[in-house]
Structure 1
Amino acid sequence: MIICIVVAAVLLGGGLYFYLHYKTTTEEQPKVMKYEDTTNPTAVQKTLDVDSNTAGQLVKQIEYIHDGTILPEATYSVTASTLDDAATKTAQQIKSNDASLPAAATEKTDRTVVTANTDQQKVDVYKINLRNNHKIKAGVLYADDKAYAGVGYQAGRVEAMVYMSADGKKAGAVNYTVKEW
C-alpha cells in the first residue's frame, strides 16, 4: 500500500513538474503578431494567453510605445526580403538566444512579442513581464496618539503590513486591491 502511494506521488509530482515546465517554456517563446493586432485587446489576450484585464494593460503600454512616449532600449538591423520575414527571423534569433542580438531582445521575460511595423518599416520586439508583482513596503501608521512603524509585503492584489510602536505594541493589516487603473 505504501509503495503504491509513493509511486503515485512520484508520478503525480513528475507530471506536474513537466506540465509546469512545458507551460513556462511555451509562454517564454517569442510570438509573432500583426502590428495592428498589438492594439487589439482580444488578439493580445488570445496570442499571449493572458486574462482580459492584463491584455488591456498590455495594449495600453504598447500604444505608449507606438506613440513614441516610451523609447526603445536598443535597435538592431536584420537583413530579410520582406518585413514579415524579418519579424520571423528575429523571433527565431530570440528563441535560439542569438548572441548578435542586443541584450534587451534576449532578456528573459514572461512573454515576447515580435511584430512587423509596416508604418515605420521596422520590426518591433516587446518584452513583457507579468510576474513582477511582488513588493516590499514600509510605512507609518498613526493611531490613538501613537506612531507605528510598519513593514509589509504585497503579492498581486493582496498586501499585508505589520506595525510596531516604540512601546512594543503591535498591529497588523491585510488589504486587497479591488480595482486597479
Structure 2
Amino acid sequence: MDKWEMKVYNAVSVLVVIVGIIGLSWVLYGLYEEHFGKEKPVVMTQEEATDAKAVERKAAVSPAESRIISREIERSADTSPVVTYYVQAPTLEKAATETAKAIETQSPAIPPAAAKKSDRTIVTTDDKLNKVDVYKISLRKAHKLKAGMTYINDKSYLSAGYQAGRWEGLAHFDGNGFQGATVMYTLKEW
C-alpha cells in the first residue's frame, strides 16, 4: 500500500468511527427521551419557588440546580411575562393544577411559550397578585460526549472526549489505534 492509499484508508476509517459514534449518540438520545422526556410541571407557591431548599425538595433537583432555579425566579419577578394566559378556576391552587395538567398533556389551549420543552417547569401561585406564573427552566448540562478531529504535524487523529462539569478528557486515535490523550480544565465560563 503506498502513502496515498494509506491516507485514504485512514481517513475512511476515521469517518466510519465518527459516523458510528454519531449513530450511537442518536440511539442513546432516543432512549433517554423515551424514558425521561415527559415533563412533569411542579406546582408550588411563589415563596417556595424562591426558597432553594423547597425547590430542591419539590422539583427533585440538586442543591446547585435549586439555587440557580430560585435565583432566576427571584430575578424574573420584576420583568413582564412573555405571554399572558387566562384560566377560569375557583381558587389559585386549582388554576395552578389545571395549568400544570395542560402543560403535561400539551393541551392546544395553552400558549406555545408555556408548552415549550424545558428541563424543569415550575407553576407558582401568587396570592398577593392573584395570579399563576409558569417558569420554564433550562439547566446547564453537566455531562457531555464529544467527537472531533485533531490535526498535528501533517497527521490527523480522531478525538473522542467526555466532559463532566469543568473537566474534559480527550483520547486521540489514528489508523494504528490510541495515540495519546488530553485533559483540560475550564478556568472561566460566561
SS state of the match for residue 67, structure 1?
Answer: coil
Contact 2:169/2:183 (CA < 8 Å) preserved in 1? yes
- Residue 25 (structure 1) shift: 4.8
Report sequence identity in percent: 40
Distance across 2 between alignment mates of 1:66 and 1:78: 21
Q: What's 2:116 paired with?
A: 107
Distance across 1 between alignment mates of 2:183 and 2:62: 29
Structure 1 residue 55 corresponds to structure 2 residue 37: no
Unaligned runs of 5+ in 1: 1-16, 137-152, 162-171
TM superposition outliers: structure 1 runs of 4+ over 2 Å: 131-134, 153-161
- Residue 56 (structure 1) shift: 0.8
Structure 1 residue 92 corresponds to structure 2 residue 75: no
- Residue 127 (structure 1) shift: 0.7
Q: What's 2:185 paired with?
A: 175
SS state of the match for residue 129, structure 2?
Answer: coil
**Which residue identity is paired with 2:83?**
A
Shift in alpha-carbon separation, 1:53–1:87, aligned structure 2, 3 A: same
Contact 2:167/2:183 (CA < 8 Å) preserved in 1? no
Q: TM-score under structure 1 normalisation? A: 0.62
Q: What's 1:147 paired with?
A: none
Distance across 1 between alignment mates of 2:168 and 2:84: 38
Distance across 2 between alignment mates of 1:159 and 1:72: 38
Q: Which has the higher contact order (CA 8 A, sep 6+)?
A: 2
Aligned length: 136
**Which residue identity is paired with 2:185?**
N
- Residue 44 (structure 1) shift: 0.3
Distance across 2 between alignment mates of 1:180 and 1:51: 20
- Residue 156 (structure 1) shift: 3.6
- Residue 122 (structure 1) shift: 0.9
Q: What's 1:81 paired with?
A: 90
Structure 1 residue 67 corresponds to structure 2 residue 64: no
Candidates 56, 61, 77, aligned match of 1:45 = 56
Report 1:1-20 matches (<5 A).
Answer: none
Report 1:130-141 matches (<5 A).
Answer: 130-132=139-141
**Which residue identity is paired with 1:174?**
M
- Residue 131 (structure 1) shift: 4.6
- Residue 180 (structure 1) shift: 7.7
Report 1:123-162 matches (<5 A).
Answer: 123-132=132-141, 156-158=165-167
- Residue 157 (structure 1) shift: 2.3
**Which residue identity is paired with 2:136?**
K
- Residue 45 (structure 1) shift: 0.5
Residues 131-174 of structure 1 deviation map (CA, whole Å, 9 limit, x = unaligned): 5567x9xxxxxxxxxxxxxxxx976423579xxxxxxxxxx761
Residues 63-103 of structure 1 deviation map (CA, whole Å, 9 limit, x = unaligned): 011233xx322110111111111111101111110111111
